[in-house]
Amino acid sequence: MERAALLGMAGLLPRMVSARKAVSYHQNQIHALPVVISTWRHGIPSNVAAMKVLEKGGSVLDAVEQGVRVPEGDPANHSVGLGGFPDRDGHVTLDASIMGPDGNAGSVCFLEGIVHPISVARKVMEETPHVMLSGDGALQFALQKGFKKTDLLTPAAKQKWQQWRQKHKYHPEINWENKPNEYHDTIGMLALDKNGDMAGACTTSGLAFKLHGRVGDSPIIGAGLYVDNAVGGATSTGMGELVMKTVGSFLVTELMRQGRSPQQACEEAVLRIVEKIPDNKNFQVGYLAMNKQGETGAYSLRKGFNYALYRDKQNRLLDARSYYTF
Ligand code: GLY
């Protein structure tokens, strides 16, 4: 790839592109596929796991599943899987969704007691005629498929919940998810393999200390995640209610279908939130998008959203631009 990049800079780009399918344009450079992009700092190790699958020739669906399983299994991560902060009644309830290049989709929501909801979502997609299973039904299905029931409420998460209960407040903070080593939000991931096929995954324990029964955007196909292998895909993080009300990831993908770049599409979807939900001052939303050429976009409502982009053998943490400068 380094050789390809040098040739591109030397003005030989068009010939390289016609000679190699697995090369795409990005900001006037060429990049080799595969590409993996995911939300927040926890995207860095997640991208590594996904890229490992792709480099070994594994499927793009395996890549996104393995990628997001990293934060799901990390008890130090308090917004995904094991160790996630509970709802205000002390239950850790998980939401996850997955989409493959064939347009198939699976999801679980309000699922308790399973460390890897993304893998249950994949089983829903591949082994049932349904798209979404919820709550006890999702748990029953997972147990039938051999998943083990685990107590997801770690001592550290329980302590935070007890502190929160003492204050009796219900005010989600802006970017609470981005406090280093303490909180992170949803992981949403998009991967494009060397053949240009895309898959996506999204998984979360949702908003900390939410009302019992609350489900966010992450398991809602078209809200927290959407992939159309003819166009590209998008995923979201932040306050799921704002994303659901604007069907964010589907909107971003459809805007790309109409010709917007991934960056333009993310910006327009954030603008839609600003226009339709003006009372947004306490909330953050971040979008990531990627098109079939491997171009990527990232944009958020407020400052502080970062993401991990693994391409051209580099896995980097980048800051997204935002609508508001605060
Ligand atoms: N974006 C995660 C949630 O709102 O649950």
The per-residue pLDDT for range 186-223, each reduced to its tens digit, is 999 999 999 999 999 999 999 888 899 999 999 999 99
pLDDT at 185: 79
The Cα–Cα gap between 222 and 248 comes to 7
In a domain, 25, yes or no: no
Per-residue confidence (pLDDT) for residue 12, from 0 to 100: 34
Confidence (pLDDT) at 173: 59
Distance 176 CA to ligand 1 centre (A): 12
Active-site annotation holds for 186: yes
The β-bridge relationship of strands 285-291 and 296-300 is antiparallel
Q: Note the pLDDT of residue 132.
A: 98
CA of 229 to the centre of ligand 1 (A): 24
Instruction: List, for residues 169-186, the tens digit of each pLDDT value.
Output: 666 555 555 453 344 579
* pLDDT, mean of residues 289-295: 96
Residue found by looking up tokens 């829903």 in the block: 124
DSSP state of 297: E
Domains of the chain: total: 1
pLDDT tens sequence across 50-80: 999 999 999 999 999 999 999 999 999 999 9
Query: What are the tens digits of pLDDT across the range 260-284?
Result: 999 999 999 999 999 999 988 878 9
Q: Is residue 208 included in any domain, yes or no?
A: yes
Cα distance between residue 57 and residue 289, in whole Å: 23
What is the average pLDDT across 15-41? Answer: 61
Ligand 1 atom nearest 210 alpha carbon: 5
Give the number of the atom of ligand 1 that is nearest the alpha carbon of residue 207: 5
Provide the 10 A C-beta neighbour count for residue 45: 16
3-state secondary structure of 101: coil
pLDDT tens-place string over residues 94-104: 999 999 999 99
Asked if the model's pLDDT at residue 155 lies above 70, the reply is yes
Is 250 domain-assigned? yes
- Tell me how far the alpha carbon of residue 258 lies from the centroid of ligand 1, in angstroms: 27
Question: For position 169, what pLDDT does the model report?
Answer: 64
Q: How far apart are CA 138 and CA 283, in angstroms?
A: 29
| Beta strands at 306-311 and 314-319: parallel, antiparallel or unpaired | antiparallel
Round to whole Å and give the CA distance between 255 and 1: 30
Residue 20 within a domain: no
Residue 182 located in a structural domain: yes
Contact assessment for residue 145 and residue 123, using Cβ atoms and an 8 Å cutoff: yes
Mean pLDDT value across residues 12-37: 53
Tell me whether residue 24 is in a domain: no
- Closest Cα partner for 153 from 213, 94, 96, 203? 94
| Interatomic CA distance for residues 183 and 315, integer angstroms | 21
Domain containing 172 — which CATH number? 3.60.20.30
Q: Which two tokens stand for residue 36?
A: 């993996």
CA of 317 to the centre of ligand 1 (A): 21
Paired tokens of 318? 């980048």
Residue 16 lies in a domain: no
pLDDT value, residue 46: 98
Q: For residue 24, what are its two tokens?
A: 């795409």
Ligand 1 neighbours (beta carbon < 6 A):
186, 204, 206-207, 216-218, 237-240
Structural domain of residue 242, as residue ranges?
32-324
Interior/surface letters 81-103, b for 16+ CB within 10 angstroms, e for the rest: bbbbbbbbeebbbbbbbbbbbee
- Can you give the pLDDT at residue 6? 34
Residue 238: which of 325, 309, 175 has the closest Cα? 175
Amino acid identity for residue 281 in this structure: K
Ligand 1 atom closest to the Cα of residue 214 is 5
Rounded to whole angstroms, the Cα distance separating 94 from 104 reads: 21
Cβ 11 vs Cβ 282: under 8 Å: no
- Kindly indicate the confidence band of residue 9, based on its pLDDT and cuts at 50, 70 and 90: very low
Cα separation, 90 vs 161, in Å, equals 7
CA-CA distances (angstroms) from residue 168 to 162, 209, 287?
A: 10, 10, 31
Q: How open is the CA angle 92-97-101, to the nearest 5 degrees?
A: 165
Q: Best substitution site from 94, 207, 236, 307 to test ligand 1's pocket, by max atoms within 8 Å of Cβ?
A: 207
- Cα–Cα distance for residue pair 262/217, rounded to 1 Å: 20
- Is residue 253, in this structure, part of any structural domain at all? yes
